[in-house]
Amino acid sequence: MKDCCKNGSEKSEKPSLKKWFNYAVYCIVATIVIGALIIQITNNAS
């Protein structure tokens, strides 16, 4: 029973970690893209 419970909790934890990892990657990519756009706009403005 304890082994089953441990496996169940591990399985439920892994997707949440994977989900947060995906969110982190998307946030980093979005930050880079937005930063690049801002640099382009400021360079064109000046």
Model pLDDT, residue 17: 87
Q: Where are the domains positioned within the chain?
A: 1-46
So what's the pLDDT on residue 2?
Answer: 52
Per-residue model confidence (pLDDT) at position 24: 96
**Residue 11: φ, ψ to 5°:** -65, -40
Question: Residue 37 has what pLDDT?
Answer: 96
pLDDT of residue 25: 97
pLDDT score of 22: 95
The residue assigned the tokens 């982190």 is: 24
The separation between CA 5 and the C-alpha centre of its own chain, rounded to angstroms, equals 28
Residues of the chain with pLDDT under 70: 1-14, 46
Q: What pTM did the predictor assign?
A: 0.56
Longest CA–CA span in the chain (Å) reads: 68
